[in-house]
Structure 1
Amino acid sequence: MTPAQARTLNALGLLGCCAVLLVAFWYQFRLGEVPCPLCLLQRAAFAAAGVGFALGLRFGPKPSHHAITILSAVAGAFISARQVALHIVPGTGSYGSTLFGLHFYTLALIAFIALVVAAAVLLLLDGTFGAEERTGNKGIGAFPRACLLLFLGVILANAVSTVAECGGGLCPDDPSGYQALDNWLRTRSDPS
């Protein structure tokens, strides 16, 4: 596999992380589903997994980049498995909407497992490691660059959304709005 092909696979992995976060944003802002603390941690794990793919795009494929993706996805899988366990007992209820008949925390668990498998497959393609040093780094193309910019925008939006919801403190267990943003707006409109 050539370095360009490896970058394309990393770009697709990064695009997958972005897609998950964008779907979560759509549900958050279009349907008014404010994410719970475990949901925010899962989003952070998707962002961290994306960092591994982003490093592979920017600096070429390296085992350490795929290790970042795998470790982040394993952490995210534990977090989503915890949330599945909280809601698996009959009568405990669930949190949020469903997509394809599954709750987002269940879909997140499946996606994290898929990320581990994808990064492991990229590790198996070890012939690409060091190939850029031998052939010369020719930079990244338009598609990988667009994926990187999309990823940066999505994680920045996630950070802003989380600060608006939680501020600098703990996030509410059962959020109903953007606590920090509401407090800030209230102090701005009430000068006394």
Structure 2
Amino acid sequence: MITPELSRQLNALILLGISGLLAFAFLDQFLLDDLPCPLCLLQRVGFVLAGFGFALNVVIGPRPSHYGVAILGAAVGAGVATRQVLLHIVPGSGSYGDPLFGLHFYTWSLIAFCLIIVASALLLLFEDQFRPTPGMIKREGWRGATGLGLVALFFFTLLTLVNAGSTFVECELGLCPDNPESYELLDEG
């Protein structure tokens, strides 16, 4: 049985995992000077959309519609990651970025998106989390998120903002280059 409070904690853990993925991509971008391509940036958007569904569960409380948001975000990201995998699956077609443990980031992203979809579907099977409990009405909204939930929300929000900022510096308000070599905003001046 998963209570609403346990569900919030599980959602916070998943949100921390998504934040970890965003942090890893962000650190790779700056420490290894590996600028993300447009498809890579769209995959980050998919992680943010999926994370938003879990963040809603942490803040407001578990709802099937919030898991729906997470699943839709992960499905969008999985579609983009699949597109990138298919672009580079043919031998001799090249790849984008360096592999990590034998797989490229876009392949790892596809795996992560599939895991998010499966985790959301599994959590949806536990209906007890959607039943109101005594005192739950008082804890709706931001006051419902405590401890681990607040930490997860902080890091997710921070990483979403820094990724959005770095995307603006890389692409400005226009289209991102297919094979970025520098930050457009920094090159102008």
For residue 142 of structure 1, the aligned residue among 138, 147, 153 is 147
Contact residue 60 and residue 132 of structure 1 kept, 8 A? no
The structure-2 alpha-carbon separation of the partners of 1:173 and 1:133, relative to structure 1 and needing over 3 Å to count, comes to farther
Structure 2 unmatched runs, 5+: none
The equivalent residue for 1:190 is none
Q: How high is the TM-score relative to the length of structure 2? A: 0.94
Q: How high is the TM-score relative to the length of structure 1? A: 0.92
Which amino acid in 1 is paired with 2:77?
Answer: G
The structure-2 alpha-carbon separation of the partners of 1:133 and 1:71, relative to structure 1 and needing over 3 Å to count, comes to farther
Matches within 5 A, 1:161-176: 161-176=166-181
Larger Rg: 1
1:18 aligns with 2:23: no
- Aligned pairs, number: 184
Question: How far did residue 133 of structure 1 move?
Answer: 7.0
1:153 aligns with 2:158: yes
Q: Secondary structure at the match of 1:102?
A: coil
The structure-2 alpha-carbon separation of the partners of 1:31 and 1:136, relative to structure 1 and needing over 3 Å to count, comes to same
The structure-2 alpha-carbon separation of the partners of 1:160 and 1:84, relative to structure 1 and needing over 3 Å to count, comes to same
Q: Which structure is richer in relative contact order (CA contacts within 8 A, separation 6 or more)?
A: 2
Q: 1:133 and 1:158 mapped to 2: Cα distance?
A: 39
The structure-2 alpha-carbon separation of the partners of 1:89 and 1:56, relative to structure 1 and needing over 3 Å to count, comes to same
- Percent of aligned pairs sharing the same letter: 51
Contact residue 40 and residue 162 of structure 1 kept, 8 A? yes
List per-residue Cα deviations over 1:34-63 (Å, max 9, x = no partner).
Answer: 000000000000001000000000000000
Question: How far did residue 126 of structure 1 move?
Answer: 1.4
Contact residue 2 and residue 131 of structure 1 kept, 8 A? no
